[in-house]
Amino acid sequence: MKGGKASGGLVAVVDLTPAQAEAELARLASEIAHHDRLYYQQDNPEISDAAYDALRARNAEIERRFPDLVRLDSPSRRVGAPVAGGFAKIIHARPMLSLDNAFDEDDIRDFADRVRRFLKLEARESIELSAEPKIDGLSVSLRYEKGKFVTGATRGDGETGEDVTVNLRTLEDVPAYLKGRELPAVLEVRGEVYMQRADFLKLNASRKTKDEPPFANPRNAAAGSLRQLDPRITARRPLRFFGYALGEVVGGKVGDTHVHMLDRLRGWGVRVNPDTRLCADVDAALEYYRDIAARRARLAYDIDGVVYKVNRFEWQERLGMVSRAPRWAIAHKFPAEQARTRLNAITIQVGRTGTLTPVAELEPVNVGGVVVARATLHNEDEIRRKDTRIGDTVVVQRAGDVIPQVVGVVLNERPKGAKAFRFPDHCPVCGSLAVRAEGEAARRCSGGLTCPAQAVERLRHFVSRNAFDIEGLGEKHIEAFHADGILRTPGDIFRLHRRTREIEQREGWGAKSVERLLAAIEARRRISLERFVFALGIRQIGEATARLLARHYGSLGAWRKAMEAAVRHPEGEAAQDLDNISQIGPSMVADILAFFAEAHNGATLDDLAREIVVEDYVQPKTAGSPVAGKTVVFTGTLERMTRQEAKARAEALGAKVAGSVSKKTDLLVAGPGAGTKLADATKYGVTVIDEDAWLKLIGE
Contacts with ligand IVH, residue ranges (CB under 6 A): 97-99, 132, 134-135, 139, 192, 244-245, 307, 326, 329, 331
Angle between helices 586-597 and 556-568 (to 10 degrees): 90
Closer residue to ligand IVH (CB): 107 or 469: 107
For residue 598, give the nearest of 664, 512, 538 by alpha carbon: 538
Smallest distance from the beta carbon of 194 to ligand IVH, in angstroms?
Answer: 8
Rounded to the nearest angstrom, the gap between the alpha carbon of residue 636 and the centroid of all alpha carbons in its chain is 35
Smallest distance from the beta carbon of 82 to ligand IVH, in angstroms?
Answer: 17
Closer residue to ligand IVH (CB): 310 or 449: 310
> 386: which residues sit within 8 A by CB, 6+ positions away?
406, 408, 409
- Whole-angstrom distance, CA of residue 572 vs CA of residue 593: 13
Closer residue to ligand IVH (CB): 332 or 386: 332
Task: Tell me which residue has its CB nearest to ligand IVH.
Answer: 139
134 is catalytic: yes
Strands (E), 516-658: 526-528, 613-615, 631-635, 656-658
Would you give the end-to-end CA distance of the chain in angstroms?
Answer: 44
- Whole-angstrom distance, CA of residue 304 vs CA of residue 12: 31
At residue 517, the 3 state secondary structure works out as: helix
Smallest distance from the beta carbon of 139 to ligand IVH, in angstroms?
Answer: 3
> 408: which residues sit within 8 A by CB, 6+ positions away?
386, 394, 395
Smallest distance from the beta carbon of 660 to ligand IVH, in angstroms?
Answer: 47
> 648: which residues sit within 8 A by CB, 6+ positions away?
none
Measured CA distances, 585 to 16, 26, 200, 549, 592 (Å): 11, 13, 49, 13, 11
- 692 within 8 A of 658, measured Cβ to Cβ: no
Smallest distance from the beta carbon of 273 to ligand IVH, in angstroms?
Answer: 7
Smallest distance from the beta carbon of 48 to ligand IVH, in angstroms?
Answer: 16
Smallest distance from the beta carbon of 328 to ligand IVH, in angstroms?
Answer: 8
- Whole-angstrom distance, CA of residue 111 vs CA of residue 107: 6
- 595 within 8 A of 619, measured Cβ to Cβ: no
Closer residue to ligand IVH (CB): 132 or 302: 132
Closer residue to ligand IVH (CB): 329 or 399: 329
- Whole-angstrom distance, CA of residue 579 vs CA of residue 143: 56
For residue 425, give the nearest of 411, 445, 398, 406 by alpha carbon: 445
- 357 within 8 A of 347, measured Cβ to Cβ: no
Smallest distance from the beta carbon of 154 to ligand IVH, in angstroms?
Answer: 10
Closer residue to ligand IVH (CB): 327 or 600: 327
Smallest distance from the beta carbon of 206 to ligand IVH, in angstroms?
Answer: 27
- Whole-angstrom distance, CA of residue 226 vs CA of residue 496: 37
From the list 5, 134, 621, 656, the catalytic residue is 134
- Whole-angstrom distance, CA of residue 39 vs CA of residue 436: 26
Q: How many CA atoms lie within 13 A of 32 on its CB side?
A: 25
Closer residue to ligand IVH (CB): 305 or 439: 305
Three-state SS letters, 607-635: HHHHHCEEECCCCCCCCCCCCCCCEEEEE
Closer residue to ligand IVH (CB): 47 or 463: 47
Closer residue to ligand IVH (CB): 192 or 392: 192
| Count of positions (residues) in the chain | 700
Q: What are phi and psi of 673, to 5 degrees?
A: 90, 5
Enumerate the active-site residues.
134
